[in-house]
């Protein structure tokens, strides 16, 4: 054993009870189930209840991940929570999770990379664990995008939903090869020249308000497949793996057309792609851990499987992570 790896001990997720269907949206704005399904693959999304905050979703997902791992919250010494919809401007939503779990040691902080947040959070936790600063990390993606949507803008309000997912990572020793369990590679990218293509038109320092999500959908779509496939090719090259080695492709769930095009370009078979966008919509940083938990709980992802994660979102930010479960 020569290297430290961040090995997945368990995962969990939580979705708010309320389901909002395309038909309900069509009664509020000028859209249709047919348009939404054809352009995005989304059929429904979950919406947080009044008084239900991002932290509440995150705490439930985190507790489920701890239960799945069969470990006590007290053994967690790092919490990295990816969100663009924190409970408050500060303190970090991660400390609300930490307090609710009764953890008074270690560190907890939020990370903001919009839809790429979970991949950025996995990479961050992985680096801390491999560097020896912490031993066990909770990595969470949690969002209440329903709170920053302009519900009169049919171009955006049909796309997003609320939810949370989490994984537990532990520092373990590996051999330094691609047969190791745990996070094998992470690749992160940003290009701020695109910052106005997908943004929120408010904030504490600019308007003093929370603001609403604004997006040039076609521009996002135009860049998405190239950026996603580029950073996945980086993961293959760094790990000495090929698309044939991938057991499960768990992409950020923004749009079925983006996912299909990326998988096709990479020669990843459709039956290896985990899709939840139809039921969850785009839950931003929560979408990957929600999809992971879905595929673990229904028996698709098994111990030893090679799982490829990718995301792209506002900034633009994008990234990939290759994980042996």
Q: Which listed range, 93-101, 129-137, 140-148, 212-220, lies at the site for ligand ACO (CB under 6 A)?
A: 212-220
- Interaction of residue 183 with ligand ACO, rule CB under 6 A: no
- Please identify, using beta-carbon distances, which residue of 280 and 324 lies nearer to ligand ACO: 280
Q: Give the helix ranges, DSSP H, for 87-240.
A: 93-100, 117-131, 154-157, 217-239
3 state SS of 12: strand
- Interaction of residue 115 with ligand ACO, rule CB under 6 A: yes
CA distance 244 to 192: 33
Residues 29 and 43: beta-carbon distance below 8 Å: no
Q: Does 252 participate in catalysis according to the annotation?
A: yes
* Burial grade of 209 (CB within 10 A; 0-12, 13-18, 19 or more): exposed
Q: Does 157 participate in catalysis according to the annotation?
A: no
92, 167, 224, 309: which one binds ligand ACO (CB under 6 A): 224
Here's the x/- map for ligand ACO, 26-45, by CB under 6 A: it reads as -----x---xx--xx-----
Residues 159 and 22: beta-carbon distance below 8 Å: no
CA distance 17 to 209: 28
Q: Which listed range, 71-79, 137-145, 151-159, 270-278, lies at the site for ligand ACO (CB under 6 A)?
A: 151-159
Q: Does 187 participate in catalysis according to the annotation?
A: no
Residue environment code for 73-89, b if the CB has 16+ CB neighbours within 10 A, otherwise e? beebbbbbbbbbbbbee
Q: Which listed range, 76-84, 94-102, 153-161, 259-267, lies at the site for ligand ACO (CB under 6 A)?
A: 153-161
Count of residues engaged in binding ligand ACO, rule: CB under 6 A: 23
Here's the x/- map for ligand ACO, 67-106, by CB under 6 A: it reads as ----------------------------------------
Please pick, among 56, 115, 157, 280, the residue that the annotation labels catalytic: 115
Cis preceding-peptide flag for 307 (omega within 30 of 0): no
The nearest distance, CB 288 to ligand ACO, in angstroms, is 11
3 state SS of 224: helix
Q: Which two tokens stand for residue 227?
A: 């950026």
Residues that bind ligand ACO (CB under 6 A): 31, 35-36, 39-40, 115, 154-155, 158-159, 198, 215, 217-218, 220-221, 224, 252, 254-255, 282, 312-313
Which residues carry out catalysis?
Answer: 115, 252, 282
């Amino acid at each position: 054993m020569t290297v430290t790896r961040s090995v997945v001990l368990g995962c969990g997720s939580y979705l708010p009870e309320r389901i909002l269907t395309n038909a309900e949206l069509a009664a509020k704005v000028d859209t249709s189930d047919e348009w939404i399904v054809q352009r995005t693959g989304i059929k429904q999304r979950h919406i947080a209840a009044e008084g239900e905050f991002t932290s509440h979703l995150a705490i439930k997902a985190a507790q489920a991940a701890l239960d799945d791992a069969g470990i006590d919250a007290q053994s967690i010494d790092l919490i990295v929570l990816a969100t663009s919809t924190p409970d408050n401007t500060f303190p970090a939503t991660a400390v609300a999770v930490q307090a609710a779990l009764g953890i008074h040691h270690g560190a907890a902080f939020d990370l903001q990379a919009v839809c790429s947040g979970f991949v950025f959070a996995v990479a961050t936790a992985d680096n801390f664990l491999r560097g020896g600063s912490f031993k066990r990390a909770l990595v969470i993606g949690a969002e209440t995008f329903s709170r920053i949507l302009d519900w009169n803008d049919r171009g955006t309000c049909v796309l997003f939903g609320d939810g949370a997912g989490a994984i537990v990572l532990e520092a373990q020793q590996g051999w330094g090869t691609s047969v190791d369990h745990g996070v094998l590679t992470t690749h992160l990218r940003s290009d701020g020249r695109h910052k106005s293509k997908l943004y929120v038109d408010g904030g504490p320092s600019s308007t003093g308000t929370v603001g609403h999500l604004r997006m040039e959908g076609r521009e996002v779509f135009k860049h998405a497949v190239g950026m996603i496939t580029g950073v996945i090719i980086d993961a293959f090259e760094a790990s000495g793996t090929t698309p044939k080695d991938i057991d499960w492709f768990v992409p950020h769930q923004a749009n079925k057309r983006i996912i299909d095009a990326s998988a096709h370009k990479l020669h990843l078979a459709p039956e290896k792609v985990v899709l939840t966008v139809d039921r969850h919509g785009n839950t931003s940083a929560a979408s990957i851990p929600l999809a992971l938990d879905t595929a673990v709980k229904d028996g698709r992802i098994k111990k030893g499987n090679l799982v490829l994660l990718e995301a792209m979102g506002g900034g633009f930010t994008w990234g990939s992570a290759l994980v042996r479960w």
